[in-house]
Amino acid sequence: MTVIGWLQIVLFCVVIVALTKPLGYYMTRVFNGEKTFLSPVLRPIEAGIYWISGVDEKREQHWLTYTVAMLLFHVGGFLIIYGVMRLQAVLPFNPAGQVAVAEDLSFNTAISFITNTNWQNYGGESTISYLVQMVGLTHQNFLSAATGIALAVALIRGFSRASMRTVGNFWVDVTRCTLYVLLPICVVYTLFLVSQGMPQTLGDYVDATTLEGAKQTIAVGPVASQVAIKMLGTNGGGFFNANAAHPFENPTALSNFVQMLSIFALGAALTNVFGRMVGNQRQGWAILAVMGVLFIAGVTVTYWAEASGTSTLQALGLTGGNMEGKEVRFGIVASSLFAVITTAASCGAVNAMHDSFTALGGMIPLINIELGEIIVGGVGAGMYGMLLFVILAIFVAGLMVGRTPEYVGKKIEAREVKMAMLAILVLPLMILGWTAVGVVYPAAVASMANAGPHGFTEVLYAYTSGTGNNGSAFAGLTGNTFFYNLTLGCAMFVGRFFMIVPAMAIAGSLAGKKSIPPSMGTFPTTGGLFVGLVVGVILIMGGLTFFPALALGPIVEHLAMNAGNLF
């Protein structure tokens, strides 16, 4: 670990905190339906969209209608992706002549993109056409991100409203999020990325003759426009197989830094949106503080582990950290930081290969996802995930003093706690359940690339990433098999929607409750005690659930490595 390395980490944190308030202010106005500086340009387009699609923007929806609208929207999204993948051979924008994608891989990819997971069983440049990249993937990158944010805003409205039957209008929230938040940022962001060297072209792959006379086919494409939303929307599905490690998908140290910022920016801003909507910004800062504590702890461990290297490297006298699967322009610190960010948020883009991380360095990304990606989290998903943990923490605090717990003026009762528990139990069910199948089913075992405990970690990571809708991978695992395409598809689907429905039920139930003013007995939720309590609940829940699995994977591998065992 070096001083300049830590300076890069500190700079990242400072910029994120500085962006939180202005972005939160802007997004609050967008979701309250107020005028913004972009309204003169965008308002006519917005009104036109409502007119042709028959949306009455004044009419709000009950939580159940809101949820059904969201589900219908995703059925359509699924069909579009599945359709263009199966038909890409006869559709335009296919200069590399890619053939139809197989049924199981198309199924997996379609689920993967509508759930904001973007797990890459497809190899970007080697499997799919530009049309699929644009119409299938870029478009769903926008819509799954907009959906996540819309759902978080609906849950926040549950807290901020009193005695109401509705939580907002899904169509309006998604449209406004896309038009006012995602698209304008992406336009500027795309141009910045191209200025750093990222391609943006519909031309053919380029055939070059290298200095030594060999032939090199260089894949290009409309990369920048997709990368912009892939990062901003915490989607993470790469244009290229190597994702943000590919020099075209992340050309410079600066493009890397901005990509990291864009993963966290909207998620962090949502804490401020929460604070503003419930009428006290300090409530938002307290939640951001919980995320910050967990984040710094994770970065410290991963950076330390990667900088220390492995016993194999040390035995050969190689210093400078574990550079296997990392790029020179990012080095140890920017690769470690990126890995923690991408798994804290449910982004899943990678600028280094997590499979080649040290045992402990690779364990942190795994833990980040297993905790539910609530450290800033996926856009929207992180916020509603964190609020579920807050409900549990408040409930625990209530139990200790024997009072009905309250949070931002709402009584937290049996229904909310049950729903929160239901949502949180989805994670161990899918992750541990499928991992257990994956390590005994012969066709699944054959997919492991590494032997010993590392192979187990590959399978655990795959289901963790799928269920958590992250999308990063211990990429040695051959995921593009019938078994993994199907079971990971299931994990991604359940991990996304079985979390959303209970969260929306909580939103509906809270919106209907009266708001009670704070009294002497109210537990203050803006201070250090609250932050400590939530951090504690998260770690205990995560630890109790996943420690045994982690002990079998990364922990035993670390011990084996120190003992000099190779597999």
Partner 1 sequence: MLREIRPAIVLLLVLTAITGLAYPLAMTGIAGAIFPAKAQGSLIEKDGKVIGSALIGQEFKDDKYFHGRPSATLAPDPNDSTKTVSAPYNAANSGGSNLGPTSKALADRLKEDVDKLKAENPNAPVPVDLVTTSASGLDPDISPEAAQFQVPRVAKARNIPEESLKTLVAANTEGRWLGLLGEPRVNVLALNLALDRASAK
Binders of partner 1 among residues 458 to 487 (CB under 8 A) are 474-476
- HSE, CB side, 13 Å, CA atoms: give it for residue 306: 34
- Give, as ranges, the residues between 543 and 562 that touch partner 1 (CB under 8 A): 557, 560-561
Nearer to partner 1, 362 or 468 (CB): 362
Q: Which of 34, 40, 163, 210 binds partner 1 (CB under 8 A)?
A: 210
The reply to whether 336 sits near partner 1 by the rule CB under 8 A is: no
The reply to whether 308 sits near partner 1 by the rule CB under 8 A is: no
Note the Cα 483 to chain centre separation in Å: 24
Nearer to partner 1, 73 or 274 (CB): 73
Please state, in angstroms and as integers, the Cα–Cα distance from residue 359 to each residue in 154, 166, 484, following that order: 39, 48, 24
Q: What is the DSSP string of 295-311?
A: HHHHHHHHHHHHHH--H
- Give, as ranges, the residues between 477 and 536 that touch partner 1 (CB under 8 A): none
| Whole-number Å distance between alpha carbons of 8 and 174 | 35
- Give, as ranges, the residues between 390 and 429 that touch partner 1 (CB under 8 A): none
Angle, alpha carbons 233-234-238 (nearest 5°): 100
Q: Which of 16, 149, 219, 367 binds partner 1 (CB under 8 A)?
A: 219
| Whole-number Å distance between alpha carbons of 151 and 166 | 13
Report, in Å, the least distance between residue 547 CB and partner 1.
Answer: 21
The reply to whether 356 sits near partner 1 by the rule CB under 8 A is: yes
Rg value, the chain, Cα: 23
Q: What is the DSSP string of 4-35?
A: HHHHHHHHHHHHHHHHHHHHHHHHHHHHTT--
State in Å, rounded, how far the first CA of the chain is from the last one. Answer: 28
The reply to whether 135 sits near partner 1 by the rule CB under 8 A is: yes
Please say whether the beta carbons of 31 and 160 come within 8 A: no
Contact pattern for partner 1 over residues 73 through 102, marking x by CB under 8 A: x-xxx--x----------------------
Contact pattern for partner 1 over residues 422 through 451, marking x by CB under 8 A: ---------------------------xxx
Report, in Å, the least distance between residue 384 CB and partner 1.
Answer: 21
Total of residues contacting partner 1 (CB under 8 A): 128
- Candidate ranges 174-182, 340-348, 519-527, 538-546; the one touching partner 1 (CB under 8 A): 174-182
Alpha-carbon dihedral of residues 420, 292, 471, 69, nearest 10 degrees? 40
The reply to whether 346 sits near partner 1 by the rule CB under 8 A is: no
Angle, alpha carbons 45-51-54 (nearest 5°): 135
Report, in Å, the least distance between residue 322 CB and partner 1.
Answer: 7
The reply to whether 303 sits near partner 1 by the rule CB under 8 A is: no
| Whole-number Å distance between alpha carbons of 20 and 361 | 28
Q: Which of 89, 100, 206, 540 binds partner 1 (CB under 8 A)?
A: 206
The reply to whether 353 sits near partner 1 by the rule CB under 8 A is: yes
Report, in Å, the least distance between residue 382 CB and partner 1.
Answer: 22
Q: Which residues contact 321 (CB under 8 A, 6 or more apart)?
A: 306, 307, 308, 309, 331, 332
The reply to whether 318 sits near partner 1 by the rule CB under 8 A is: yes
- Give, as ranges, the residues between 11 and 40 that touch partner 1 (CB under 8 A): 11
The reply to whether 275 sits near partner 1 by the rule CB under 8 A is: no
The reply to whether 253 sits near partner 1 by the rule CB under 8 A is: yes
DSSP-based three-state secondary structure for 206 = strand
Looking at residue 246, what DSSP letter applies?
Answer: S
Q: Which residues contact 268 (CB under 8 A, 6 or more apart)?
A: 16, 17, 19, 20, 23, 288, 291, 376
- Candidate ranges 99-107, 328-336, 484-492, 493-501; the one touching partner 1 (CB under 8 A): 328-336
The reply to whether 58 sits near partner 1 by the rule CB under 8 A is: no
